[in-house]
Amino acid sequence: MRYTLAVDIGASSGRLILGSVQLEKLELKEIHRFDNKMIKKGQHYCWDIDMIFSEIKKGIKKCNDIGITPESIGIDTWAVDFVLLDEKGELLTDAVAYRDDRTDGMMEEVFQKIMKERLYLETGIQFQKFNTIYQLYSLKKTQPEVFAQAKTFLMIPDYLHYLLSGIAVNEYTNATSTQLLNAFTKKWDKTILDILEINKEIFQEIKKPNTILGNLRPELVEEFGFDMKVILPATHDTGSAVISVPAFNDTIYISSGTWSLIGVENRFPICVTKALDYNFTNEGGIDYRYRFLKNIMGLWMIQEVRRNYNNQYSFAKFVELAKEAQGFSSIVNVNDNRFLKPDNMVEEIQNYCLETGQQVPTTPGEIAKCVYDSLVDSYVTAINEIEEIFEKTFPSINIIGGGCQNEMLNQLLAEASQKDVYAGPIEATAIGNIVSQFIALGEIDSLSEARQMIKQSFEIKAYKAAEDVIK
C-alpha cells in the first residue's frame, strides 16, 4: 500500500493527513492536528513559523506510531505571506501575517508608480491591500537595511519545503497570488519589479505542482527513522482545494473556510476591464489552469464572533440560534476592510448596521443570522458578476471545504441563487494535496482520473431551492 502525507495548514489550524488508494477510491487518515494563530512580535502580527514546523515534525513521527511509512510529503498553506532569507539561508524576517496593518496605504503608493490597470492587465490578480507586492513594498520602505540583505524570497509553504528538503524554489500556484507574476508568461514580471525597485535576484525558479522536489534532509531522515520524497502540491490551499471539485461542467465553486473563494476554473486568464471592475483574480492552478475567482471574507467573521462570545457557543449552536432569529434581516458588506481584523467583530457588525440605518443585531442569534445572510448576499452578487463576464448561466454551485458542513448556509444559498447547490468534499484541500502527490508518483494518471476518483470516494450532499427554507 502506497501512502502520501498531506500537510494542510490554515489560518486557524493545521493537520497532517495520510492518503492512500484502495479499490480505486481515496482513503484518508488524519494523524495529527494542531492550532495555528497569529502572534504579536514587536509591532507586527506574525505566524509562529517555528511552532508550525515543530508540529509538522510531531505529525511525521506519529507515522511510526501507527506503523505506516509514507512515500512522500507535500505542504499547502494560505497565500501571499512570505519570509526572506539571508546569504546563509537563515531567516532574515518574521513571517508577518496578511492581517497585519503594515500594508495600510501601500497599495495607493504603488499605484503612483505603476497604473492600477496596467498591474491588473499583466498579473490578472485582484486588488487586496495585503497582497505580497504591497507587503514587500512596505518592507522596502520601512526596513530598507533588512530588505537590502535579502538573498532569498520564499512563501510560507516554500519555506517549509525548504526546511524539509534544503531546496529553495517558488511554487507556481502560490507565486501567482503575489501580484508579481505575469499571468501570460508565468514568470516573475521583471518590469513590475524594476519599477518598484525590488531585487529580482531574490526570487527563485518557479516549479509547477506535482514536482518531486527531492528527499528529506539527512538530519531529518535520522530524526524520523525513514526518508520521504518532498513533492510540491498546489501549495496555495485554494489551488489544492479546487482540484477536489468533483465535476466542472458549468459549475461555480466556493471553497469555504476562513475565506470564501468563489469562482470557476478556466483555461486562460481573463484580464479584461469588467473583471478588473468587479475585482476578480486569475490565480494559477494545477496543469496551468486558472482559478478565476473572488476572495470573500468568509467564515472568519463567525469565527471572530465566536471568540468575542468567549467560545461559549459552538458553530453548530450559532446555526441553531440563527434559525431562531428568522425575522432579522440586516446585511453588512463582508468585504469591507473594517472586518479584516477589527478589535471586536460583534461591535463592528453592530456599528455597520447602525451607520447604514439598518436594524442593529443584539443577540448572538441575530449576529449569526446577519453574518450568514451577508455571506449569501455577497455570494449571489459574485455569481451574477461571473455570469455577466462569461455571458452564460451556471446551473449549479459546488461548495467544498469545512464550511460546506453549514447546512443552513447551503440551503440559504440554494434559495437565494435559485441554483442546485452541492456540498463536499469536506477535506478538499488535503485531498487535492494528496492527489497532486499521487500524480507525481504515477499512482494516478491525470487530473480527470483524480476527479472521478474523488467523486466516487466522498459524500456530496445536494440542496435545492424550496419555498420552506429559512429566511
Q: State yes or no: 95 annotated in a binding site.
A: no
Q: State yes or no: 44 annotated in a binding site.
A: no
The bridge status of strand 72-76 relative to strand 3-9 is parallel
Which DSSP category does 184 fall into?
A: T
In whole angstroms, give the CA distance from residue 168 to residue 176: 17
Question: What totals of helices (H) and strands (E) does the chain contain, helices first?
Answer: 18, 20
Q: State yes or no: 214 annotated in a binding site.
A: no
Smallest CA-to-CA distance from 243 within 25, 452, 32 is with: 452
Q: State yes or no: 15 annotated in a binding site.
A: yes
Coil, helix or strand at residue 263: strand
- Enclosing H/E stretch for 53: helix 49-65
Smallest CA-to-CA distance from 81 within 173, 177, 195 is with: 177
Cell matching residue 174: 502560490
DSSP annotation string for 99-119: TSGGGTTHHHHHHTTS-HHHH
Classify residue 101 as left (phi > 0), alpha (psi -120 to 50) or beta.
Answer: alpha
Distances (CA, A) of 21 to 255, 436, 443, 447: 24, 13, 8, 15
Cite the beta strand spans of 105-180 per DSSP E. Answer: 152-155, 170-171
| Locus of grid cell 471553497 | 255
In whole angstroms, give the CA distance from residue 178 to residue 180: 5
Which DSSP category does 360 fall into?
A: P
Which DSSP category does 128 fall into?
A: -
In whole angstroms, give the CA distance from residue 52 to residue 323: 37
Cis peptide before 218 (omega within 30 of 0): no
**Do 253 and 245 contact (CB within 8 A), yes or no?**
yes
Q: State yes or no: 238 annotated in a binding site.
A: yes
**Do 4 and 73 contact (CB within 8 A), yes or no?**
yes
In whole angstroms, give the CA distance from residue 28 to residue 398: 21
Q: State yes or no: 258 annotated in a binding site.
A: yes
Cell matching residue 196: 518598484
Q: State yes or no: 14 annotated in a binding site.
A: yes
List active site positions: 237
Q: State yes or no: 236 annotated in a binding site.
A: yes
In whole angstroms, give the CA distance from residue 298 to residue 195: 34
Q: Give the distance, in angstroms, between the CA of residue 319 and the centroid of all CA atoms in the same chain.
A: 24
Give the residue numbers of the binding site for ATP.
11-15, 258, 303, 402
Give the residue numbers of the binding site for substrate.
79, 236-238, 295
Give the residue numbers of the binding site.
11-15, 79, 236-238, 258, 295, 303, 402
